[in-house]
Amino acid sequence: MLSCKELVANSSDLLDSQLSLRQRLAVQMHLAMCYRCRRFIKQMRLSQRVLRALPDAAIPELEELAARLAEEVRTRR
Amino acid sequence: MDYPADSALLARLLAGEEKAFRELVATYQGAMRAVAFAIVGSRNADEVVQDAWLAVVRNLKGFQGRSSLKTWLLTITANTAKTRLKHNRREVLLDDLPGPHGTVGEKRFADDGHWLREPFAWHQDTPEALLTEEELRECLEKTLTSLSELQGSVLLLRERQGLELEEICNLLQISLSNVRVLLHRARLKVFATLEHFEETGQC
């Protein structure tokens, strides 16, 4: 039987679908019985979504760079 | 071409349309920077990205659309970065620097592997609700900056840019098991920061 600590160790592989069938079954069995680990996984997934939702850092000199690249293409034609 | 959205943009790029380049840079520069960061480190990353853009422009006509535009751009960036490194490629640094709020580590578990201190139940269950707290955003930024260059880049490429693990391996030339380790450690630190903030209300 998988321990909570082992479940946490396998959690990223679970999120990335990197577990073998056998490991996946063990993880699912553990999660079915352990609300703490269910909460952990739920909140791991939430933190993934939080990272995705963070605003992009502004790109300094976006305009200038774009203008320079466009110019470069036009002169190359 | 198998990537219709790309081919529309590509036509505009080839026409030298400035707005198309703004879109291109805004969409992909973040991912390119992460790739450069992982290979040459923070000091030379910006220069590599600049060089990569020039290489992109030079080769734009030859782009065949056999891969997505994104894959092509990131491959050029990785190659530019590797050329910069020449032969003194750094060892793959699996350094695990301590995060500001630690990780989900040994201390959280009893000897039998059960939770000693169980995960705290967060107050919010959507990213939008969590991120309304300005302080949490800043706190997360701090955690992300605390990650090693490679760890931070791998996290960014996976979670924000949605790259497959295999693409990350190929671009950065590190093994799948290393990518998995880097990603896992980075995620646990992010988790620890969110948990700490939800529990204490401060960074």
- Look up the pTM and report it: 0.89
pLDDT 10s digits, B26-64: 999 999 999 999 999 888 999 999 999 999 999 999 898
> In this structure, which amino acid lies at residue B116?
L
pLDDT at B88: 52
Contacts of residue B94, defined as CB under 8 A and 6 or more positions apart, other chains included, come to B150, B178, B181, B182
Which range marks the domain in which residue B182 is found?
A: 106-200
**Interface with chain A: mutation pick from B14, B18, B155, highest number of A CBs within 10 Å:** B18
pLDDT at B123: 93
Residue B203 CA to residue B199 CA, distance in Å, equals: 10
Contact A12 B140 (CB under 8 A): no
Q: How far is A30 from chain B (nearest CA, A)?
A: 12
pLDDT at B64: 83
| Structural contact between residues A39 and B115, judged by C-beta atoms closer than 8 angstroms | no
Question: Which 8-state DSSP code applies to residue B168?
Answer: H
pLDDT at B138: 94
In a domain, B93, yes or no: no
pLDDT at B7: 87
**Do B152 and B70 share a structural domain?**
no
**Do B125 and B70 share a structural domain?**
no
| Structural contact between residues A1 and A27, judged by C-beta atoms closer than 8 angstroms | no
User: Token pair 């680990």 is at which residue?
Assistant: A37
Instruction: Provide the domain count of chain A.
Output: 1
pLDDT at A58: 84
In a domain, B97, yes or no: no
Look up the CATH number of the domain holding residue B126. 1.10.10.10
Residue A7 CA to residue B19 CA, distance in Å, equals: 48
**Do B112 and B77 share a structural domain?**
no
Which tokens hold the place of A66? Answer: 């774009």
Please state the rounded mean pLDDT for residues A43-50.
98
By the CB < 8 Å criterion, does A62 face chain B?
A: yes
Instruction: Provide the domain count of chain B.
Output: 2
Which range marks the domain in which residue A69 is found?
A: 4-76
Q: What is the mean pLDDT of each successive set of 10 residues along chain B, which is 203 residues long?
A: 80 95 95 94 91 95 89 96 73 79 95 96 95 93 94 96 96 95 97 96 92
User: Token pair 């967060």 is at which residue?
Assistant: B122
Chain A residues close to B14, C-beta within 8 Å:
73
In a domain, B186, yes or no: yes
pLDDT 10s digits, A49-66: 999 999 888 888 899 999
By the CB < 8 Å criterion, does A64 face chain B?
A: no
By the CB < 8 Å criterion, does A56 face chain B?
A: yes
The complex's ipTM works out to 0.92
In a domain, B21, yes or no: yes
Q: Which of A15, A52, A66 sits opposite B21 (nearest CB)?
A: A66
pLDDT at B72: 96
pLDDT 10s digits, A2-42: 999 999 999 999 999 999 999 999 999 999 999 999 999 99
